[in-house]
Amino acid sequence: MNSEIKQAFGHPEIRSAATSSDPKLDRLSLRDHIIEVEIGAFQSERGITQRISFNIVVEVLPSKGAHTDNVDDILSYDSVTEAIAIEIAAERLNLLETLAERVAARILLEPQAERVFVRIEKLDRGAGALGVEIVRSQEETTAAKEINYQVAPLIIHFPMGAIGSEFLTGWIDQIIALDRPSILTVACSSVGTTVGDQIAQRRIELLAMEQTAWRLSANDRRCVVVDSWTELDWGLKNNQLSTWAPSKTVLDCPDKELSSVTNALDLSNWLCGELNADRLVVLDPTAEVLTWQGDK
């Protein structure tokens, strides 16, 4: 077997050694770390867990830990396994590529980490292992870290009576005039009769909220419909007035207790907590001037 094939199919440590440069870096490795997790883009992968294998190599600058025998002087193995656990718990993901990127980025938050190789494989989707491998460095993530700041948005909930109101344009004018990051959430339109399947009913109710979000956007194009954490974050950082379409973020949330929450206002409260929002307020659909029925 030639060296290129060995590098392609061997443990990431082989690639790390083959592409090393000065100054020489030490290596911390994790091998065959297997976790059961719900992940995947196909409907057949929802509601079930499958085994995911992690093989990771972290290149670090030589430390004094070998001489002091002090765990505080090294990058701990726990930092690697915790990065995996945190990213798995944060959100249900469709792609291994996304999970690999997030795990790599979190590991590179450690000041000792210079470069990281992340290989993730699904073990239960066929006769072999299906996976992805990436390599990322401190240099590639520095710019992203510099713009990763926390914002405290205002979340404004629109009851059904507000969506087609003659006051809508004026309300949007006033919200924009506040000159602060804001997200609009909407009530659930009528879903008609219920169905016997709980999962199907859940999706019907979420889609009813999304229909309302698109109605709001159609009535005022400044209300941009977004359906992912990435779009929400971009909107907050770029003064976009985002209208939340909840299906993706809610269905991808690993918190199983959220599956029983169907009230649109309760979901708005959940979003408020997830984004560390300043507050959630409910629009008064009877008032021409922007006023609140109350803080939640």
Q: Where are the beta strands (DSSP E) in 62-147?
A: 113-122, 130-137
Which one of 122, 210, 231, 248 is the catalytic residue? 122
Q: CA Rg, the chain, in Å?
A: 23
Give residue for tokens 């400044």. 222
Q: Is 122 a catalytic residue?
A: yes
| 283 Rama class: left (phi>0) / alpha (psi -120 to 50) / beta | beta
Q: How many CB atoms lie within 10 A of CB 277?
A: 21
CB 264 within 8 A of CB 188: yes
Which one of 38, 45, 101, 110 is the catalytic residue? 45
* H-only helix segments in 138-246: 138-146, 160-163, 168-177, 198-219, 229-237
Helices 96-107 and 77-90, axial angle in degrees (round to 10): 140
**DSSP 3-state of 141:** helix
State the catalytic residues: 45, 122
